[in-house]
Amino acid sequence: MEKKNFKISTNVPPLSNIDDISDGELNLFDPNNPDIGLFNLIDDEIIKLSGSKFHYYKYFQSEDYDPVYMEARNKPVAKEALTVYGHYDPKVLEENLSQFGLELTNDQFFIFNKSYIERLLQRTPIPGDQIKPYFQNWKWEIFQVQEDSFEAYGVYHLICSAKILRDSEDVQDTPLTDTIDRPGGFLENG
């Protein structure tokens, strides 16, 4: 078999030296491209189609902070739930018995498309918000929110770490009085 040589009619420009390249000459991705939001929209649709449906209860921050227990005594949460879509990995609830008693080690991760969830909530998710999966009877309380990003594609996810909420509905909705447990002893002036 005979080797063939092909000729081209146009001159190929010489490759530039990598050391002489100014900022962004070899960049194949244009960050100013208006289609950058396309990947984010596709990610949003994928989460809606393949994700799970949740009831999302917004937490309203208040100034009622108890210094003894170092937490808000009355955590007002919205009565009406918003319906949102996201990803999570359902787990079996495990209550391991150790030398300190029952331990709950079932932290759950909920993943949302950042622009989608912020558009629905009109704010970013915050610690104290509650999530209830549509097909389970468990509520989860968010305690940490992290951002995960694929910056080259313009896709941003919010990863919400949550712990199981063990309080019943009637305990959560009970208004608390203005009294505070005083630190120290239980006997004051005889």
Q: Is residue 130 part of a domain?
A: yes
CB 84 within 8 A of CB 54: yes
Q: Is residue 167 part of a domain?
A: yes
List the structure tokens of 168: 């019943």
pLDDT of residue 125: 93
Q: Is residue 12 part of a domain?
A: no
Q: Which domain holds residue 38?
A: 30-62+72-90+102-172
Q: Is residue 133 part of a domain?
A: yes
Residue in the block written with tokens 């990803």: 87
What pLDDT, in 10s, does the model give residues 20-44? 545 545 455 566 666 667 777 888 8
Find the mean pLDDT for residues 65-81: 75
| Number of structural domains the chain divides into | 1
* Per-residue pLDDT band at 67 (split at 50, 70, 90): confident
Q: Is residue 149 part of a domain?
A: yes
pTM attached to this predicted model: 0.65
Residue 176 is given by DSSP the state P
Give pairs for 66-70: CB < 8 Å, separation 24+.
66/180, 66/181, 67/180, 67/183, 68/180, 68/181, 68/182, 68/183, 69/181
Q: Is residue 107 part of a domain?
A: yes
Q: Is residue 24 part of a domain?
A: no
